[in-house]
């Protein structure tokens, strides 16, 4: 009997830990957070590469930048969950977040988001003021201008939100060197433009949920066909950008251009594809892999 109770207790403990990990991942939007860390590191790495600086000599700054920016971005995502708890309860993909289920109180989530943001900014103060400024711009844009102001009101909310994600390589670069350089500016533009078709794919895929939640995202306000045209426009805007990074070599330019051309053809094909949801799902998967490959490639080519 005792052994049975101990076994049951262990099962419950394991389940509790599993549920807690799931809640934390959901609260911090795990994949979103990780996808924002990569551009920060890419910015750091390329700043080291183009200034001929040693990674080990600047290891302290690299760690402070990565940890600090991750905490601030995590804080912003937590605050987004806190503010959006009402609409998250309506959407299928967000209804299990701890802010909706009640496993974490909204007060706790609010304080956690503020604390993470403050600690992250403090750590970044030990790098450069320019990195702090970019970090604050990203945080303020995401929390206030996107989450609290534009998301529920205006179809251009994606443009506003894209600024917060696009500053990440500027944070990394400016922690080591001035960002008034062509490379970090192009890194910013790539991320800014990429986020548009990436977000459109999510919105089309989950269109009914966004409608039910009252989010004024483009396909809800202007329709799917209009969104496809904008999707095509932004992908066309990506085409020339790799050529401004010719200092990374022909391998990078070739692969980046092929990625852009394939995405362009698939975007055009979307006008003829009957299953719009399937097209949006594939578009989303491609966009995620596109940015991961591109920003990883920027690092890899510096070794050759």
- Segment 180-199, tens digit of pLDDT: 999 999 999 999 999 999 99
Residue (of 36, 33, 34, 47) closest to 185 by Cα position = 47
State the Cα–Cα distance between residues 231 and 216, nearest whole angstrom: 17
Q: Is residue 127 part of a domain?
A: yes
Q: Is residue 5 part of a domain?
A: no
Angle (CA) 100-105-109 rounded to 5° is 90
Domain holding 54, by residue range, is 30-303
Q: Is residue 13 part of a domain?
A: no
Query: Would you say residue 21 has pLDDT above 80?
Result: no
Query: Would you say residue 283 has pLDDT above 70?
Result: yes
Q: Is residue 243 part of a domain?
A: yes
Query: Each residue of 223-268: pLDDT tens digit?
Result: 999 999 999 999 999 999 999 999 999 999 999 999 999 999 999 9
Is the backbone of residue 140 left (phi > 0), alpha (psi -120 to 50) or beta? Answer: alpha
pLDDT at site 28: 82
State the Cα–Cα distance between residues 299 and 248, nearest whole angstrom: 9
State the Cα–Cα distance between residues 96 and 27, nearest whole angstrom: 10
Least confident range from 21-30, 142-151, 215-224, 262-271: namely: 21-30
- For the entire predicted model, the pTM comes to 0.92
Q: Is residue 70 part of a domain?
A: yes
pLDDT, mean of residues 151-157: 93
Q: How many domains does the chain have?
A: 1
Q: Is residue 229 part of a domain?
A: yes
What is the CATH number for 51? 1.10.600
Max CA separation in the chain (angstroms)? 71
pLDDT at site 93: 81
Q: Is residue 22 part of a domain?
A: no
Q: Is residue 10 part of a domain?
A: no
């Amino acid at each position: 009997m005792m052994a049975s109770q101990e076994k049951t207790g262990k099962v419950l403990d394991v389940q509790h830990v599993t549920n807690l990990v799931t809640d934390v991942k959901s609260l911090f939007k795990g994949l979103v957070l990780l996808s924002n860390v990569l551009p920060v590191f890419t910015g750091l790495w390329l700043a080291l590469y183009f200034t001929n600086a040693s990674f080990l000599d600047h290891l302290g700054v690299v760690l402070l930048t990565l940890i600090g920016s991750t905490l601030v971005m995590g804080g912003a995502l937590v605050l987004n969950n806190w503010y959006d708890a009402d609409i998250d309860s309506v959407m299928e993909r967000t209804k299990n977040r701890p802010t909706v289920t009640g496993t974490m109180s909204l007060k706790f989530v609010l304080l956690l988001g503020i604390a993470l943001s403050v600690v992250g900014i403090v750590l970044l103060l030990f790098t450069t003021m320019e990195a702090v400024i970019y970090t604050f711009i990203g945080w303020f844009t995401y929390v206030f201008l996107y989450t609290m102001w534009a998301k529920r009101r205006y179809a251009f909310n994606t443009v506003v939100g894209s600024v917060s994600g696009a500053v990440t390589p500027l944070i990394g670069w400016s922690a080591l060197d001035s960002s008034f350089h062509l490379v970090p500016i192009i890194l910013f533009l790539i991320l800014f433009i990429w986020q548009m078709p990436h977000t459109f794919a999510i919105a089309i895929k989950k269109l009914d949920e966004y409608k039910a939640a009252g989010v004024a995202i483009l396909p809800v306000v202007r329709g799917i066909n209009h969104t496809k045209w904008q999707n095509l426009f932004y992908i066309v805007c990506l085409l020339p950008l790799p050529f401004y990074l010719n200092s990374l070599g022909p391998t990078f330019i070739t692969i980046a251009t092929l990625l852009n051309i394939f995405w362009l053809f698939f975007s055009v094909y979307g006008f003829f594809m009957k299953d719009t949801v399937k097209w949006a799902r594939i578009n989303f998967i491609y966009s995620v892999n596109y940015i991961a490959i591109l920003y990883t490639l920027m690092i890899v080519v510096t070794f050759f």
